[in-house]
Every structure is written in C-alpha cells, then in structure tokens.
Chain A
C-alpha cells in the first residue's frame, strides 16, 4: 500500500450551494475601509445622526484593537481587499416575484420560498449587504410581533432600536464586533410583545453572492416578558478562490419568563472567514437557547454566550461542528452566571476529517452573586482520519462556594467494538461507520427544524460504497 492511502469519505465534501449569479448591484463601495466609506454607508441608508456617530466610534475601536492572537489563523485576512457594502437592489420585495431574477433564482435553488410556504411564520432574506425580501404572517403582525430587516426597523422604530442596540454586545467588545458596528448592514430585528408565543419559527437566509465580499449583518431580538420565539438562520455562499468575510453581531434580550431559541445552520463555502459575536442577556426565569451548527467556512470563530443576569435564568448551548479539508472550526460557547439559582448546559459534538481541525473553546463563569447555580459541559469529538485534529480549550472561573461546575470531554475515533457489533449484524464497514457518525450527532440534529434536519442528513451523507477520495 502506498503511504498516501486516502481515507474513506464518510461525510460528503461536496458543496451544492457553490454557484454564483452574475453581479448586478445598484451600489458597490470601493474596496477597503476608511471613515469616508463608513459615512457613505450611513448616508446611503439615510440614518439618524446618532447611528452615523456610533458607526464612526465602532470604526475607531476596530482600528485600535489588535487581531486576536488565539483561535484560528487570521493573519491572512486582507481588510483592504474587501468590499464592505454592496447594495443589490433598490426595493424591498414582499413577494418573491418582485425580486430581480438573479436573486429570485438563487433563493429558489436554495429552496427558501418552498420552505416558507410549508412551515414558517416569517422569512427574511439577505443578499450581500441588504435584506431583499421580508414577510410575516398576518396573525403575528396583528399580535404586535415586529419582524423587519434591521435597516427598516431603524427607520420605523428608531427609539426601540436606540434603546437596545449595542447594550448586550458593546461596540468595543472585540475587533470584529467593532468592525460590524462600523459597517453593519441588514440582519433581522424582532420584537415579541408580552405573553405572545410565536408558534412557528421565524427564519432568515443569508447569502453572499459577490466575490471579496464582507457581510456584516446585525440582528437584535427582544422577547418581552413571558413571550416565546424561535429564530432560525441559514447561510451559504458561492465558491471563489479569494476570501470573503462574514462578521455578524447578534444581540438577544430575554426578559422575565420569556424563552428564545436561536438556531444557526452555517454552511458557508470554504473561502469565507466566519467571525461572529452572539450573545443573550437572560433575565429572571427566562430561558435562552443556542443551537449552533457549523459545517462550512474556511475558519469559524464563534462562541454564542448567555449572560444569566436574573434569578433562576437558564441557558443552553447545543453546538455541532464539522471540519473537512482546509477548514478550521473554532466554536463553543460561554455561560456567565451572574445571579442566584441559575443553571446552564453546554453540549458540543465535533467531527474532523481530511485534515480538518475542530476546536471547542468555552468559558464557564460563576460570579460571587451566582449562589446555588449549576452548570455542566459535555464535549465529544470524533476524528475520522489521521490527518485531522481536534482540540478542547475550556476555561472555568469559579468565585463562589455554593455552586456546582462540571466539564467533561472525550476525543476518539469510531470505536472498533461499535463497528464490530454492527458488522456482526450484517452491515458493511462504511454503512456501519455512517450509522455511528449519524448517531453521534443525533442529539443536536433532533433539535433542528425538520427541513434543516433533512438537509443535515444529506450533508452528512452516507457513502455506502465506501469510495476512495
């Protein structure tokens, strides 16, 4: 046998969203970023003065902050070779037919309009820098639920936006949150009034079409007392030989007794740097949940977090990562317990193959106010071949004696006893391996909305014939 025996493809590397549409836009900023471009973005959006000032402050922080020295390889990002703002169309469509045909074809191929008909309460679609489509079921609008693109929300509800914007993630939180604050465009704004429960998920689809694009959407979700909402986002992009950046900021406010679930299925192409800051503030008896699936991108650095600030607040993170050839998924989560009787749970599952690298990076913090709080983290990693790598970087900071903190992690390959058992039942080796991999991620996949669960099963494809390469 040659030294370079390829491992079997358990998880398909094929990327089916890699198509690109011809670029048609009404405005495209020149490459690179400076103060005048920041002002230009704000001018195009006809923003109030406070927002222009906020953007400029964000830009200043972005310049001042050094690049993070931990996590993935960031030194190759060329900030001067990125288009920071591309406006694909002038109007916002309320029906799919109103969209320019390239954009409509893109979403048809991803399958968005079909999904909307079947199982969603509202849909937003972002193409490059702007939200191009938005709709919400009439009943919800009647209950007072607001679901808009962030830019539209700033025009229609400036006071509400001003009150909450940047309160969960300060402008200067980290370099990429500062970059987002300076250049943000698009994203969703959701407000759910007191006691309103949104039964079907609200969904947003993010698509990068242009090459060398920077997408900086900004999402803000406010769930008022006793309300419930489930927000789902999906992300795809064409395959280019040059790199794009996606640096989103997501702020979620869970008020007393409310519950918010935020599900992400990130499937960017392998030329996208995905550097996202996501955080929830969970108040008394509220529940905040992140379901975070990272399949695509070149490098992802994303650690959704819950700040549990009210008594009996609860946080949960389900994190799944898959890294294939040339990919590094640096994912995980943070739980900060800042109130008594709070509880949290983090479950992480990662798979690496074909030289891919997955890292779990997490923080658990028990502040002096977190009396009688509990947290548990479980991380499992599978390595499918010897070219691949798996890391675990947990951090626990405990400053309270009445707490319970547990962390456990396991890294292994597929168990030979598991394979032996399945094969003794008549399965061939590759089906047995595929079954084990599917079982491994099942606890996360079962929490996904049906259409995404099906998509995930397609992605984690069973290669029954055990083909090489």
Chain B
C-alpha cells in the first residue's frame, strides 16, 4: 500500500521528517498557494523503500523557502522528486534540494526535477538542486529549469481563437497539473479543488 500525504506551504509544521522503511512506499505532495517555509526530509531506511515527492507552487506574493532532502540510507531504494512552480508579481522563491546516497545504499536510484515558470520581471527564483553520492552502483540525475511561457505554445492556442490571457492560464494550469497526473483519483480531486480556485483567480489579474 502506498501512503499518500498532502501538505500545504504556509500551513502545518515547518519541518517534516518522513521515514520510509523496508518495502514501504510513500507519496508526499506539497501544495503551495500561499507563501511559507517548508523543510522536508525523506529518509529511505530499509531495502526497497520508495518515495515520491511532488510539489506544485503557485507564487503570487511574498517569500517562500522550500527545502527537500532525499536521504538514501539502505540499498535498492528509490526516490523521485518533481516540483513545479509558477511565479508572478514580486514573488520570491528559494528552492534547495539535496539527494544524498550513503555508502551502503548501493543499487539505489534517485531523481530530482525542479521546473519553474517566471512570469514577472519582479519575481525572483533561486534554485539549487544538489547531489552527494557516496556509493558507486547507483543512478542519479537531477535537472532544473527556469524560463518563461513557450511562445510557440501560446501562438498555437491563440491561433485557435483563445485570447492571450486565457491561453496563458491554460498553459500554466497544464504545466502545474502535470505533476499529479499519476496520483490516485481521490488525492487528485482534493488537490485540484484547491488549485482550480487559485488558478481561476489568476485569470482576473494575470
């Protein structure tokens, strides 16, 4: 059974430590519709432990600090992180990710992806995805991107008669929601409920 935890930025505890034991599987989702700080530590403590860390950050104001730590402490463990963010106005976002693979955590796989859309010249995004690999028989990749909305995508939608603002909203919505496509229906509904409300607010003042 996979355990699913839905957390929100600016709500609940600032420091979250999750431990995944032998054979267990965990999904942690961070939803950010308000500014705030979150420090998430995921420890893979037993053989075959698996964790998925997902994040959707919609930054419209204020300063947010998100830190994640994927700590592989046992062999044959797997972790997969995907956090996407879209930033407007004067939003200030700082992401620091760390994957650490201990010497005994051989045959582990770890992924870390942080993608950001920056939608205002006043917005500021700092991202620092780090790796510390102390075992050799592993596979680790990470990537980070920061950019604006793809002009070609925008042109395509607009050529279909969709006004620019609406097209931008659709692209941002698709960009963020792609994070949760693989979730179970229940969790997906819960997240979409919160997210849709915020995205609809956007089209009025983007």
Contact = CB atoms under 8 A, between A and B. Distances in A.
A447 interface: no
B120 interface: yes
Given A392-B130, A395-B126, A400-B121, A411 B140 contact: yes
B144 A396 contact: yes
B143 A403 contact: no
A383 B131 CA distance: 13
B138 to A, nearest CB: 7
Contacts of B143: 406-409
B145 interface: yes
Interface residues of A, number: 33
Interface in B109-133: 116, 118-121, 123-133
Contacts of B135: 383, 386
Contact of B133 (A368, A383, A395, A405): A383
Nearest to B117: A401
Given A391-B130, A402-B148, A412 B123 contact: no
Contacts of B142: 392, 407-409
Nearest to A413: B136
B129 A391 contact: no
B136 A383 contact: yes
A391 B128 contact: no
A392 B96 CA distance: 12
B128 A393 contact: yes
B119 A394 contact: no
Interface string B133-163: 1111111111111111000000000000000
B103 interface: yes
B136 A407 contact: no
A397 interface: yes
A323 B103 CA distance: 17
Contact of A389 (B106, B120, B134): B134
Given A385-B136, A386-B136, A411-B138, A398 B126 contact: yes
A285 B140 CA distance: 37
Interface SS, B side: strand
A390 interface: yes
A200 B73 CA distance: 53
B131 A388 contact: no
Contacts of A405: 144-147
A392 B148 contact: no
A394 B144 contact: yes
A394 B121 contact: no
Contacts of B129: 392, 394, 407, 409
A277 B125 CA distance: 27
A410 interface: yes
A392 B124 contact: no
Contacts, number: 108
Nearest to B139: A412
Interface SS, A side: strand
A391 B128 CA distance: 13
A409 B131 contact: yes
Contacts of A388: 136
A394 B123 contact: no
A141 B123 CA distance: 51
Contacts of A402: 121, 148
Contacts of B136: 383-386, 388, 413
A101 interface: no
Contacts of B128: 393-396
A368 B90 CA distance: 13
A400 B131 CA distance: 26
A404 interface: yes
B141 A401 contact: no
Contacts of A393: 128, 130
Contact of A386 (B103, B127, B131): B103
B125 A398 contact: yes
A148 interface: no
Contacts of B132: 389, 391
Nearest to A389: B134
A309 interface: no
A421 to B, nearest CB: 18
A135 B139 CA distance: 50
Given A401-B119, A403-B148, A409 B134 contact: no
B124 A401 contact: no
A354 to B, nearest CB: 12
Nearest to B128: A395
A88 B161 CA distance: 78
A431 to B, nearest CB: 20
A405 B147 CA distance: 6
Contacts of A391: 130-133
A356 B129 CA distance: 22
Contact of B140 (A395, A399, A407, A412): A412
A254 interface: no
Contacts of A192: none
Interface string A430-454: 0000000000000000000000000
**Pairs of residues from A and B, 6 with the lowest C-beta to C-beta distance, nearest first:** A392-B131, A408-B143, A405-B146, A383-B136, A411-B140, A398-B146
Interface of B: 103, 106, 116, 118-121, 123-148
18 contacts: A383-B133, A386-B136, A389-B132, A391-B133, A397-B124, A398-B116, A398-B124, A398-B126, A399-B124, A402-B121, A403-B147, A407-B143, A407-B145, A409-B129, A409-B131, A409-B143, A410-B141, A412-B138
